[in-house]
Structure 1
Amino acid sequence: MTKAPARGPHSARSHDREIVSLAVPAFGALVAEPLFVMADSAIVGHLGTPQLAGLGVAAALLTTAVSVFVFLAYATTAAVARRVGAGDLQAAIRQGMDGIWLALLIGAAVIAVTLPAARPVVELFGASPTAAPYATTYLRISALGIPAMLVVLAATGVLRGLQDTRTPLYVAIGGFTANAALNLGLVYGAGLGIAGSAWGTVIAQCGMAAAYLTVVVRGARRNGASLRPDAAGIRACAQAGAPLLVRTLSLRAVLMIATAVAARLGDAEIAAHQIVLTLWSLLAFALDAIAIAGQAIIGRYLGAGDAAGARAACRRMVQWGIVSGVVLGVLVVAARPLFIPLFTSDATVRDALLPTLLIVALGQPIAGVVFILDGVLMGAGDGPYLAWAMLVVLAVFAPVALLVPTLGGGLTALWWAMTLMMTVRMLSLWLRTRSGRWIVTGAVRA
């Protein structure tokens, strides 16, 4: 754990240095989860199209089961960063411990629901008869790693709030390496097929959680923060995260609707959609690295009562987001011939991929602004607005996406609907940041 750097002048150069120092290592940590899924997709994809289609459905469900609780990271980052800005490190870590205990409780509850519901949920999700058994197998096994995944989220939030994004990077590198090695060994070496991929991911996630807990517990003892569960603190943590839960549920509903529509278009379409969605998630997490820096920086500035610093940092990060989005879009177009063969040899799947990837590339500058402003408002603790704004976005996207199978256009039309969703989201976030209502200073947001 590192101490928060001292505040410097509000120049573009000073903000650039701080953004880079936090965002570069944050990028490595953020891409761990999509790289887990990407590695699984590449390995399972060569087992066959039904297996890859099954992974597509199961991965969407599993990611939803975990990602709806991403407030364990985001709300914790903002709260801890405010305490750091106010100079109360012990209270910052104590607040983080409440988040970790909440993660364990939620993880146990999610397992209890997911295991018996796996098969009916997969069928309800629209998986074909050939893909459904593979989806069910992967989902049931992977669900056992959910508590570890949630602990990783909460502990990562603690470290980010303390302005430490390097430790999550080191843990992520170790986790991804272990996941890839375990998947190859269990899928092909042990002959376990898609089940081996799921077990490899579970083992890797548990190892990452153990590493995070070791770091956080040492920091808590060093600063005199209690490790015991505190009912009032856990309850307060859950209440603070409720708006972000609504926001994340709405976002996950968007992604689930998109995957459900793709599943009804056919096995080739859902297989192609899984590859595109995996790439889209990787790009999103790359942009979100700057947003993570924004959460930590904005929270610290507001906790220290520096509204001018928060505004200046926000402006600079938006500029970073736009430029990064343009660069990523160009890379997607240029690298298409290189990465498509890594995921599939099916000509039908490849034909569906090509035009869809162009749409994803065109939408990256919009995504850059969206993720940056989302991070700024999270860092400010502006959860209620984020919740309402995302509900509006869902209301716009759902009817458009659900009409795709009826009106035609296939996977290409579905991803144009995704671009529309991101555009509406960008407008809602821009209006909020322009209003200045998100700027509330103090160690705790009133």
Structure 2
Amino acid sequence: MAEKNDGCPCGNPTRFPFSIFFKDARSALKMDELGVEIAKIALPAALALTADPIASLVDTAFIGQIGATELAAVGVSIAVFNQVSRIAIFPLVSITTSFVAEEDTIMNSSHQMQGPTTNSENKKLLELHNIKSESLDEESIVTSYEKKRIPSASSAIIIGVVLGFLQAVFLINASKPILSIMGIKSDSPMLYPAQQYLKLRSLGAPAVLLSLAMQGVFRGFKDTKTPLYATVTGDVTNIILDPIFIFVFGLGVSGAAIAHVISQYLISVILFWRLIEKIDIVPPNSKHLQFGRFLKNGFLLLMRVTAVTFCVTLAASMAARQGSTTMAAFQVCLQVWLATSLLADGLAVAGQAIIASAFAKMDYEKVTATASRVLQLGVVLGVVLSILLGFGLHFGARLFTKEAGVLHLISIGIPFVAGTQPINALAFVFDGVNFGASDFAYAAYSMVLVAIISIISLFVASSHGFIGLWVALTLYMSMRALAGFWRIGTGTGPWCFLKGIT
């Protein structure tokens, strides 16, 4: 009797899947065809992804000149805003990138067949990849001379706008109780500046979520240059407006929030203008929208991103409870930690887009080669970042604050911020690789398990103060990387084909 295959495209296991991590390792930095393709996607994506944290770092640097209380207050508000934003938009961006890459690849392939393809032929291609054929008739998949109609892109934009308005209403009306949960009580001197900053920055939530949804669409087209141009334009505007609003107009933390909001709306306008030149974002009717697909996979990633961001937000809350000095130091270390780690997310974006396209074409050799290359590059990037931060942060800490107590705690955090970079890089790249394989269920359930362990470790380690928080965060990132290694290394789920590669 034949052994059950469980949907694996390459039959029964015959090889060691973990060998993918060492495949052609000597060529990791080689600029061959694959290396160039990865670089063209990853470099602009990495710069775009780090632009917003860098803008937050600039906010942090300017606000740090006002005082430690304001610095700590804004740190809590940024943590809250980022937590809610990631919960709302991260699942949408990740799903959109994979769906758009998949649909665009299949549609391009259908048009390259001999002669015009029939509607039924196109439907077979789409059904092969679990795309509902009834929502993609000939009218929706045929591209015109100027524009494409990609149903998942239209769906993502609508969902992004709705989520943005809901986030704004939620944060503006619930700012005080949320900050209280984060450890800022009604008698705390941090409450007023934190509430000011959070309410004003929440006005930009619709623009933030819409622009991120559109970035997911562009990534699916393997176009990361357009989001980079838009993001850099917006964030340079933010950097220019910061000192004007904070110091010249004397608005303090409110000025920093207003500058950030203006920059986010500028980014969304630029992206929308470029996107309507590329695709027809208005579907013929509602049946072409794929809300069912988004909701099914979005719920899984919602579980995941809630678990991911809750750990970091919980750590920030525990730092806030230890006082403004600890929170100020934690904010500086955390912003640097996240800003540099997000460089690896550029590799994750490249891996996701290329792997999703390769899976759509069932080109498993390309899948394997891409996964190997981006993971190896992730290790290299992590080591480089570790060295740079190990030396640079000792001298750069004074850019954020002059207070001796805060600087002392930052010096304690430097070994963790710098030393975890290779682990962080692998964790981010593993995310992109598995998202490219549409392995959303494993990504969700494994992250929930990691979060449970991390939350317990945070409560235990927090009794050891500032250093305990960073020990727990190091464990958290290590387990994230291990979960990604385990899935691919064991050749399970969509990676079962690795056991049959010859």
**Alignment TM-score, normalising by the size of structure 2:** 0.82
What is residue 11 of structure 2 aligned with on the other side? none
Q: Could you tell me which amino acid in structure 2 is paired with residue 84 of structure 1?
A: D
Which of the numbers 51, 69, 74 marks the counterpart of 1:55? 74
**Is the 1:84–1:303 Cα contact (8 Å) retained in structure 2?**
no
Q: Are residues 1:25 and 2:81 paired? A: no
Q: Are residues 1:80 and 2:100 paired? A: yes
What is residue 416 of structure 1 aligned with on the other side? 471
User: By how many angstroms is 1:92 displaced?
Assistant: 6.7
Q: Could you tell me which amino acid in structure 1 is paired with residue 92 of structure 2?
A: L
1:3-152 aligned at under 5 Å gives the runs: 13-68=32-87, 69-88=89-108, 93-127=150-184, 129-152=188-211
What is residue 373 of structure 1 aligned with on the other side? 430
Question: For residues 255 and 77 of structure 1, what CA distance do their matches in structure 2 show?
Answer: 25
Question: For residues 183 and 368 of structure 1, what CA distance do their matches in structure 2 show?
Answer: 30
- More moved, 150-159 vs 31-40: 31-40
Which of the numbers 239, 245, 265 marks the counterpart of 2:302? 245
**Is the 1:380–1:440 Cα contact (8 Å) retained in structure 2?**
no
What is residue 494 of structure 2 aligned with on the other side? 438
- For residue 187 of structure 1, give the secondary structure of its aligned residue in structure 2: helix
Question: For residues 149 and 81 of structure 2, what CA distance do their matches in structure 1 show?
Answer: 30
Question: For residues 378 and 17 of structure 1, what CA distance do their matches in structure 2 show?
Answer: 21
- For residue 70 of structure 1, give the secondary structure of its aligned residue in structure 2: helix
**Is the 2:41–2:223 Cα contact (8 Å) retained in structure 1?**
yes
- The one-character-per-residue Cα deviations of 1:384-442 (angstroms, maximum 9, x if unpaired) are 11110110111111111112343x2x21121111111111111111111123322499x
- For residue 290 of structure 2, give the secondary structure of its aligned residue in structure 1: helix
User: By how many angstroms is 1:226 displaced?
Assistant: 3.0
Q: Are residues 1:429 and 2:429 paired? A: no
Q: Could you tell me which amino acid in structure 2 is paired with residue 433 of structure 1?
A: I
- For residue 283 of structure 2, give the secondary structure of its aligned residue in structure 1: coil
Which protein has the larger Cα radius of gyration, Structure 1 or Structure 2?
2
Q: Could you tell me which amino acid in structure 1 is paired with residue 190 of structure 2?
A: A
Question: For residues 150 and 247 of structure 1, what CA distance do their matches in structure 2 show?
Answer: 18
Question: For residues 255 and 219 of structure 1, what CA distance do their matches in structure 2 show?
Answer: 37
Q: Could you tell me which amino acid in structure 2 is paired with residue 219 of structure 1?
A: K
User: By how many angstroms is 1:239 displaced?
Assistant: 2.7
- The one-character-per-residue Cα deviations of 1:299-350 (angstroms, maximum 9, x if unpaired) are 1111111112101110111110001000000000111233211100011000
What is residue 392 of structure 2 aligned with on the other side? 335
Percent identity between matched residues is 30
Question: For residues 338 and 25 of structure 1, what CA distance do their matches in structure 2 show?
Answer: 28
Q: Cα 1:194–1:81, aligned 2, differ >3 Å: closer, same or farther?
A: same
Question: For residues 209 and 150 of structure 1, what CA distance do their matches in structure 2 show?
Answer: 9
- For residue 150 of structure 2, give the secondary structure of its aligned residue in structure 1: helix
Which of the numbers 194, 214, 225 marks the counterpart of 2:273? 214
User: By how many angstroms is 1:171 displaced?
Assistant: 0.7
Question: For residues 430 and 92 of structure 1, what CA distance do their matches in structure 2 show?
Answer: 37
- The one-character-per-residue Cα deviations of 1:9-65 (angstroms, maximum 9, x if unpaired) are x98633211111111111111112211211110111111001001001000000111
What is residue 171 of structure 1 aligned with on the other side? 230
- For residue 107 of structure 2, give the secondary structure of its aligned residue in structure 1: coil
What is residue 214 of structure 2 aligned with on the other side? 155
Question: For residues 278 and 186 of structure 1, what CA distance do their matches in structure 2 show?
Answer: 22
Q: Cα 1:60–1:109, aligned 2, differ >3 Å: closer, same or farther?
A: same
**Is the 2:394–2:411 Cα contact (8 Å) retained in structure 1?**
no
What is residue 4 of structure 1 aligned with on the other side? none
Q: Cα 1:179–1:394, aligned 2, differ >3 Å: closer, same or farther?
A: same
**Is the 2:154–2:289 Cα contact (8 Å) retained in structure 1?**
no
Question: For residues 230 and 185 of structure 1, what CA distance do their matches in structure 2 show?
Answer: 48
**Is the 2:152–2:289 Cα contact (8 Å) retained in structure 1?**
no
**Alignment TM-score, normalising by the size of structure 1:** 0.92
- For residue 174 of structure 2, give the secondary structure of its aligned residue in structure 1: helix
- For residue 379 of structure 2, give the secondary structure of its aligned residue in structure 1: helix
User: By how many angstroms is 1:67 displaced?
Assistant: 1.0
Structure 1 alignment gaps of length 5 or more: 1-9, 442-446
User: By how many angstroms is 1:216 displaced?
Assistant: 1.1
User: By how many angstroms is 1:181 displaced?
Assistant: 1.1
Question: For residues 325 and 278 of structure 2, what CA distance do their matches in structure 1 show?
Answer: 49
**Is the 1:108–1:147 Cα contact (8 Å) retained in structure 2?**
yes
Count of paired positions: 428
**Is the 2:207–2:264 Cα contact (8 Å) retained in structure 1?**
yes
User: By how many angstroms is 1:127 displaced?
Assistant: 2.1
